[in-house]
Structure 1
Amino acid sequence: MTDGKRRRGLMAASALLGGVLVLSGCSGGDDNGSGDGGNGDSQSQVDEAAAKKSSEAQIKITPKDGSTNASINKAATVTVAKGTLTEVKLTTADGTPVEGEISADKKSWKPSVQLERATTYKLSVTAEDSEGRAAHENASFTTVSPANSFIGTFTPDDGSTVGVGMPVSINFDKAITNKAAVQKGITVTSTSGQEVACHWFNANRMDCRPEKYWQEGSTVTLKLALDGVEGAEGVYGVQQKTVTFKIGRNQVSYVDAKTKQMKVTQDGKTIRTIPISAGSPENKTYEGQMVISEKFKETRMNGATVGFTDDDGEGEYDIKDVPHAMRLSTSGTFIHGNYWGAKSIFGNVNTSHGCVGLQDVKGANDPNTPGAWFYNNSLIGDVVVVQNTGDKTIAPDNGLNGWNMSWEQWKAGSAL
C-alpha cells in the first residue's frame, strides 16, 4: 500500500471511528442518566408535580366565548364537573352586574333575570375541587339583536279571566316565513280537553281556538317555546314563556237590529233583554260573532279615524267621553253607552254609524243605566252576536272574530 492509500485509509477509519464515538456518546448518556435524556426526565417530573397541584374542577360556560346571536333565555349558564362553584359574576360590557344564583348543590348557575337583546356580557367563574384547589374560566358573548330576532305579542294576559269566546291571538313583530317551525313551538291546551287548532291570518298573526266556545270554568295554557326557532332567514325567536288564563261563565249576547233588542244569555238562558240602537240604514252594523277585545269606562270616538268625514275633512262626529265602550272590531265597531241620543230611540230606531248603542248618561257614573249594567257584567272575551242588520259578516281577522269561519276553514289555515 502506498503512503497516499495508507493516509486515505486511516482518515476513513478515523471518520468511521468518530461516528461510532458520537453514537456511543448518545447511547452512553441514556445509560448513565446524564445528558439530554436526564434533563427530559427531570422536566417530566416537574410537569407531573404541577399537574398534581392543578384543580380537577371542570367548568363549562354556555354559550362559548365569542358567541354572537346568543339566546336571552338560555345564554349564560354555567356548570361544573368534579367540583363546586364558588363564585360566578355576570356583567354587561360596561360593568353593570346581572343577578344570578348558584344552585343548592353548587353544580350550576344561571341568571335570575332575562337578558337583554343586543347586549355584550362577560362571565367570570371560579370553582373548587374536593381538595379546595381553584379553577377559573372566563367568557364573553353578545345576545341576539332585535333585527335578528322576533317576539310574539299575545292576548289574553297571564292570570286573567276571560269570556268563552276569547281566542289566543299572537302578533309577531317580524314577518314569519317558516310558519310550521314557529307553530310547532307554540302549544295551546285546555283542562276541558277540547281540541285546539291554530290559524294563520297572515305572516304576522296566528290565532288559536277550539271548534266551539271554550268550556266555562276551564283553564287554558299557552306555551311559547320559541327560543332559537328560526322564523325567517336569520331571524330567531327569543321567547320561553308559559301563560295560563281562566274561562269565566258562559255569556253570549244576541243583538237583533230588526227588533232593536239585545238578549244577554248565560248558559243559554236569557238573563236580561236590553233595548239597543244599531247602525242606521246608511251605516249598517256588521253581522256575525264578535268578541269583546277591550273595555273603556270612557273613551273618545272621532268619525275621522274610521272614515266618517264631512266636506271639510272633519269627523262627522267627535265625542270625547263615550261611556262604557267595548271594542268589537279593529276597524272601530263598539258596543257602548249613548247619552246624546233621546231615550226614545233605544228599541225603536237604528241611528248609529255602525256601533251598537245602549242608553247611558254622561260621565259614566250611574250604575243603573243599561250601558253601565252591560259593561259591568261583561268580560273581555265575551261574545256579542249581531244579526239582521243587512250588512256583510265581519271579516274573521277584523278583531278577535275567527268564530265566523267554519272549523274546516279554520284548520285549513294551520301550517302543520
Structure 2
Amino acid sequence: MKLTDSAIRAAKPKEKQYKLTDGNGLTLLIYPDGSKHWRYRYLFNEKESMLSLGKYPETTLAQARSIHDGYKAILKQGINPSTHRKEEKRKAIVSVENSFEAVARTWWMHWKHAKTERHVAYTLRRMEADIFPFIGAKPVNTLTAMHFIELVYKVQSRGALDIAKRVLTMCGQVMRYAVQHGLSERNPAADIKPADILKKRKKVNHKRIPESELPDLLQKINQYDGQPLTRLALQLMTLTFIRTSELIGGRWEEISFDNAEWRIPPERMKMRSQHIVPLSDQAITVLREIKALNSDPVLLFPSERRNGKTMSNNTIIYALYRIGYKGRMTGHGFRGLASTVLHEKNFDHKWIELQLAHAERDEVSAAYNHALYLEQRRKMMQWWGEYIEMKGI
C-alpha cells in the first residue's frame, strides 16, 4: 500500500527502528529518537544495496519518490545507483576545484610574487568585479572563446576599454596556467585578438606646454604660494622627470647625496626593475631644501593629514591647476617635455628612453639594464639641470 503524508506524520517512534514501505524498494525508516529517513533498497548483480535519499520532512514524500524514480531508471540501464552517485559527487568536487575562479585564485597566488602590492591587489579586485561573477563557476575545460568574448563585451559596454583589454589578458594568463597544469586541453582566450573585438580608441597624449612656455611655468612654480613641500615636489619633478607616483613615494634611503643618485627599487617601478636617476647639482640643491624642511625620517613627501602616508597624486595636479595650468599641463607632461627637448638637443634616444624608464627589460637583463649608459645619462641629466636653471627654476 502506498504511503501518504498523513500516515508518515502519524507514525510514532518505537523501542526499535521500523520501516514503512512505499513500494519498489522505497522505504521510510522510523528511528527510536523519532527521526524519519528515506532509503532505497535494490538488487545489483544479485547483491542487495541501499541508498540514503534524505530525511523527512526536509525531503518530502513527493521529492523522495522523484529521486527514487531517477535511481530506478539508472538501475534499468545496468548501472549501480550507488556507484553513479559517487561518480556524480566526484564530478561536482572536480568541477568546483577546477572552476575558473578556483584556478584563477591559484594562478594569482603563484603569479603575485615579485609584483608590487598595489598591482597584486588591483588584479584580484578586477577579477572579482569583472570575471568571477560571469564565468567564475564554470570549469576551465568547458570554457570557449565565445565565453571570453562575451565577457570582454560586457566590460567594453560600460566604456572601460582599457579594463576590457586587461580582463582578456588576465583570462589568457589563467587559462595558460590551466593548460600547463593539465586542467584544460587548450587556452581558448589565446584565439582572441583585442583589436578584432574591441573598439579602437584614439591615442591621447598627456597635456603639456610647449618648450617656449617653460620659463613662465618655472616662474609660477617658484612663486607658488601653497605648501612649500608641494613647490619643491614640482621643482624636483621638473629636474628628474620621473613618474608622479615614483616621485611622491620617494624614501630617503633611496637617495645618495654622496653618489648624487636616486635608486628607485623595482617594487616602485612600472617596469619592475631598479631605476637609477642621476641627480644634477640643481636636483641635489632641491633635495637639501626638502631635507631641511621635512622632519620625516622616511618619506620625502609625507602627507600632511595621513600619518605614515605619502603626498597624493592629486596634490601635484591641483598645484598645477592653482597656478593656471588646468588642461594645459600634467605631472606626466614634464616627462614628455623633457623627452622632446633632449631629443631636439641630439641626446641619444637610448639614453633618454632609459632615463624615462621606458626601455623593455626581460628577467635576465633587468638585473643590469638599470645601469646601462649610466655615465652618459649623468652628463645628460646635468645638462638638463643647467638647462632648467637657465630657464628659471
Which band: TM-score by shorter chain?
A: under 0.3
TM-score normalised by length of structure 1: 0.27
Normalising to structure 2: TM-score of the pair?
A: 0.28
| More helix, by proportion | 2
Where relative contact order (Cα < 8 A, 6+ residues apart) is larger, the structure is 1
The structure that has the greater radius of gyration is 1
